[in-house]
Structure 1
Amino acid sequence: MFSCSVGLEDCLEEIDAQEIKSLAIYKDGKNDTLYFPDNKNFPYESAGRLLRNGRLVQRLRKKAASHANVQLEEGTVKFLIEEKGVVKGVIYKNSAGEEITAFAPLTVVCDGCYSNLRRSAVHNKEEVLSYFVGYVTKNTRLEDPHSMHLIFSKPLPCVVYQITSNEVRCAAEVPADSIPSIANGEMVNFLKKTVAPQIPDGNLRETFLKGVEEGLLEIKTTATKSTMSAKQV
């Protein structure tokens, strides 16, 4: 275990994370900017960081491995070991293909929305509400890189924001029951002809379209889900 607070700021600098201080909103041809509160009595600056997630995880792993009392081993977790409803450890497959059993006083699961461990850890009913379709526009700098740009487009919103000094992430939300195919070009057509015209003309729209044209093989989709407990159902 290591202190995230000691190494996190260094990791953010190493991965070129971008500072965010406001939310820019666009709807029906109008726009406004909501700035984060500037509270002098608060011990920390009111700002966020926009970044490439994978790079941060890799830097945190590297930072953790630099501590003498930390041992990192890469593997794929297959099962959680439980005793009377309490997680005691994991069974994982290492890089050599061997199944290893490991016990620990604390097991932390951070495995994403497609985790194969989710059903064993949380017994809730899941419902896919929509999908976020995203890609990165490279070699680009927004005119206002310190704002997250939220566009209330139809049928669902989209966002554009700086994640490194020369990369911008663009993401559009798509209804779960009508997601266009990436393979046959429907998704590109949807982004160019349905979403792009609703983005303010100029730097934002140009950045959005540039990423569609240049990042065809890097468009990714992520499900947005609602989870309900058995009692709520």
Structure 2
Amino acid sequence: MVGTPELRDLPPPPPPKRSFDVAIIGAGIVGNALAVALAKQGRDVLLLERDLSEPNRIVGELLQPGGVRALRELGLEGCLDGFDAVPCLGYQVTYHGEPVHIPYAVAEDGKRPQGRSFHHGKFIQKLRAASKATKGVTIVEATVSKNLIKNAASGHIIGVRCTPKGTKQEISYFASLTFVADGCKSNIRSDFIPKQVQVKSHFFGLELIDAKMPLKNHGIVVLSDRAPVLLYQIGTHETRALVDIQGKPPSQTDGSLKAYMLGAVLPTLPEEIRPSFRKAVEDSKSIRSMPNSWLPPTMNQTPGLVLVGDSMNMRHPLTGGGMTVAFNDAVLIRDLLADVEDLNDTDLVLEKLFDFHWRRRKLTSVVNILAQALYALFAANDPNLRVLQKGCFAYFQLGGNCVDHPVGLLSGMLRNPLVLYYHFFAVAFYSIWIMYKTTSPLLWPVCFFRSFAVFYTACVVILPYIWSEQQ
């Protein structure tokens, strides 16, 4: 962990200062965005973070164009400058060695938007520096207790208990509204959200040095008979490789994981990538991993409390949509609370949170459903899913709207769930047609019956996620 003196050496607030308009637990992506946005409205904001040293994660490194746009709306676009952030222009999907180019679709201004990829920790530190520089934001390095302060009579959350770093004494801060933004491993979530986090796979991350990318400034998705591999630059000399492994992964201690990487994954990669991938595997002492989680959104109904970011809603990181959702949620919360003068007006705040839950779906339902459905197709682990995977790749090869609309949805620039549903089922029917096309006419009677199984599989893939977004 890299120390950051200008953040770690922050003086504590004066002893009498224990009351704020807003308390935010977690100075990560959404926590910093909300701190800045709400402080600019004249709110007195407390931002609590357990550890202000630079984090080191293997996900949260690719910000889609929709996230860049939201960052601009928050006045935080400058956080993408001053460090080695790399422009991202789209994707290349490689299916059993055959590539298809998927650039970001042309926007309304006639230009192709750009995403950005970077070291997660460096971006977080830029956001924290922006919070520190914003009038009205007080940053305290402290571990927050799971037991929030609650009004015994009304159940209203009125503050937090925390232990400042370097001390053993627990202190209390009070706030009209508390935001929980403590991430995917939230220790507060379980007391307020009954839904359970689902983990079906893990990303294992490697950092490749001076890798020769098949297509510069593009994310590379490698599809084979195994789960997908994602490659993208995070710096001038660094490229992130994320290898998805379903179920129980091979052991690190006996060398099985390295053997899997070199024996099963390496041969599926583009030839240009293989030397740097091999070196990264051989040089690594321990390959870091991250669970790929799914948590449907839940409406915030506890007075005085709002769960945001990964604390409330997660999706598979294959499509890189998490930060885009977080920044857009910050924009929406800022706008909805703009006309709320008194955050102690519980009825009005809950009314705004009701609006937040339903209005955010225009973007988040697209990002959430697309991430889960696309992962199911890209990680195809049964014959029917493999038919859909092959059809999906062939659909991209058609070009035009068959590429522009899906990548527009993925990028966070196109926010229309109906467009997603249309293209998903178009892929399903096109997959069935491809199955007939590549099968001998003598076997078409078999294809006829199998086509029903393929379409049923497509429905099983997407319909549960559509339903979850309506709750």
User: If the TM-score is normalised by the length of the shorter chain, which range does it land in?
Assistant: 0.7 to 0.9
Change (3 A) 1:228 1:49: closer
> Which digits, 9 at most, give the CA deviation of each residue in 1:35-63, with x for residues without a partner?
10122437x85111111112211121122
User: 5 Å matches for 1:63-212?
Assistant: 63-79=130-146, 80-83=148-151, 84=154, 86-95=156-165, 96-140=167-211, 142=213, 144-176=215-247, 178-202=248-272, 204-212=273-281
CA positional deviation for 1:229: 8.8
> Which digits, 9 at most, give the CA deviation of each residue in 1:144-190, with x for residues without a partner?
331000011332101111011111111111112x3112232211111
Q: Name the structure 2 match of 1:214.
A: 283
SS at match of 1:15: coil
Change (3 A) 1:15 1:103: farther
CA positional deviation for 1:214: 2.7
Rounded to whole Å, the distance in 1 between the matches of 2:204 and 2:80 is 25
* Contact 2:86-2:117 at 8 Å conserved across structures: yes
Counterpart code for 1:69: G
* Contact 2:104-2:112 at 8 Å conserved across structures: no
Q: Structure 2-normalised TM-score?
A: 0.44
Which has the larger helix fraction? 2
Counterpart code for 1:147: H
Counterpart code for 1:54: G
Change (3 A) 1:125 1:40: closer
CA positional deviation for 1:28: 1.7
* Contact 2:92-2:100 at 8 Å conserved across structures: yes
Q: Name the structure 2 match of 1:50.
A: 117
SS at match of 1:107: strand
Counterpart code for 2:207: V
Rounded to whole Å, the distance in 2 between the matches of 1:34 and 1:183 is 39
* Contact 1:137-1:214 at 8 Å conserved across structures: no
Rounded to whole Å, the distance in 2 between the matches of 1:17 and 1:229 is 30
Q: Name the structure 2 match of 1:8.
A: 76
Rounded to whole Å, the distance in 2 between the matches of 1:94 and 1:46 is 42
Counterpart code for 2:208: T
Rounded to whole Å, the distance in 2 between the matches of 1:100 and 1:138 is 45
SS at match of 1:207: helix
Change (3 A) 1:125 1:68: closer
CA positional deviation for 1:82: 4.2
Rounded to whole Å, the distance in 2 between the matches of 1:21 and 1:75 is 39
Change (3 A) 1:13 1:45: farther
Residue 99 of structure 2 corresponds to residue 31 of structure 1: yes
Moved more, 138-147 or 64-73: 138-147
Rounded to whole Å, the distance in 2 between the matches of 1:10 and 1:228 is 31
> Which digits, 9 at most, give the CA deviation of each residue in 1:78-110, with x for residues without a partner?
223345565433222211132222222332322
SS at match of 2:84: coil
Counterpart code for 2:121: G
CA positional deviation for 1:140: 4.3
* Contact 2:92-2:215 at 8 Å conserved across structures: no
Change (3 A) 1:207 1:8: farther
Q: Structure 1-normalised TM-score?
A: 0.85
Long gaps (5+) in structure 1: none
SS at match of 2:145: strand
Rounded to whole Å, the distance in 1 between the matches of 2:175 and 2:212 is 45
SS at match of 1:39: coil
Rounded to whole Å, the distance in 2 between the matches of 1:188 and 1:51 is 25
- Specify the structure having the higher radius of gyration (Cα): 2
Rounded to whole Å, the distance in 1 between the matches of 2:188 and 2:36 is 25
SS at match of 1:73: strand
Rounded to whole Å, the distance in 1 between the matches of 2:157 and 2:216 is 43
Counterpart code for 1:214: D
Long gaps (5+) in structure 2: 1-34, 38-70, 299-466
SS at match of 2:159: strand
Task: Using CA pairs under 8 Å that are at least 6 residues apart, name the structure with larger relative contact order, 1 or 2.
Answer: 1
Rounded to whole Å, the distance in 1 between the matches of 2:285 and 2:268 is 20
Q: What's the Cα RMSD here?
A: 2.6
Which has the larger strand fraction? 1
* Contact 1:141-1:168 at 8 Å conserved across structures: no
Rounded to whole Å, the distance in 1 between the matches of 2:168 and 2:216 is 44
Counterpart code for 1:186: S
* Contact 1:153-1:199 at 8 Å conserved across structures: no
Rounded to whole Å, the distance in 1 between the matches of 2:100 and 2:109 is 27
Counterpart code for 2:90: S
Counterpart code for 1:131: H
Rounded to whole Å, the distance in 2 between the matches of 1:192 and 1:224 is 22
* Contact 1:139-1:166 at 8 Å conserved across structures: yes
Change (3 A) 1:117 1:184: farther
